[in-house]
Amino acid sequence: MNTTAQITSDPWGDILQRDEKILWQGRPDGGFRMRSGDLSSGIFGVVFTAFSIFWMSQAVKAAGFIWMFGLLFFAAGLRLIYKAVLGDTLRRRHSFYTLTSHRAFIATDMPFKARKLDSYPITADSPLSLQTGTFDTITFAARKRRGKNGTVQTPISFQDIDPGQKVFQMMSRIQKGDAL
């Protein structure tokens, strides 16, 4: 008599709608690269960290533990350097993309952060665009955030994917209402 129960579960079962099916799954390229904004943030982080080391070396001459206050700035500078050099690469290495017949999903599983799954419906109003290059980027939504100078729109994209043209064509068909 076999007492082993075989449990099969669909990890997408509770997420997808009944008529929704997965069309494509992929990941962004995880290779190391720095963008121009990362370089300026990294340089600022190096200067910030160097100044905090200088400040602590001078403050240690004073009586007490005031030099320890500089550790906060030292840590902040190291974080700026870390995010500038490795931030985008780590985010891409821990991201997963899924395109269904109705939505685009972006899942992230970053170390020391909670897992996150965001979904974006693909509709006739979706701002669909393709940027080609070594790896392609498909923008399909925008997130509005309030800033000091008003509302800022941040594009939502499948970044650094291959083959982007194929995925873009599928999204275009979904946007037009064509059945896939």
Residues in the chain: 180
Kindly report which listed range (27-36, 92-101, 124-133, 161-170) carries the lowest average pLDDT score: 27-36
From CA 128, how far away is CA 123, in angstroms rounded?
10
pLDDT in tens, 11-65: 777 889 888 999 999 999 988 887 777 888 999 999 999 999 999 999 998 878 8
Q: Specify the pLDDT at position 39.
A: 87
Are 146 and 168 in contact, with CB atoms under 8 Å apart?
Answer: no
pLDDT tier at 138, thresholds 50, 70, 90: very high
Count CA atoms closer than 13 A to 21's CA, side-chain side.
Answer: 5
Omega prior to 111 cis, within 30 of 0:
no
Q: What percent of the chain has pLDDT over 70?
A: 93
Whole-prediction pTM: 0.77
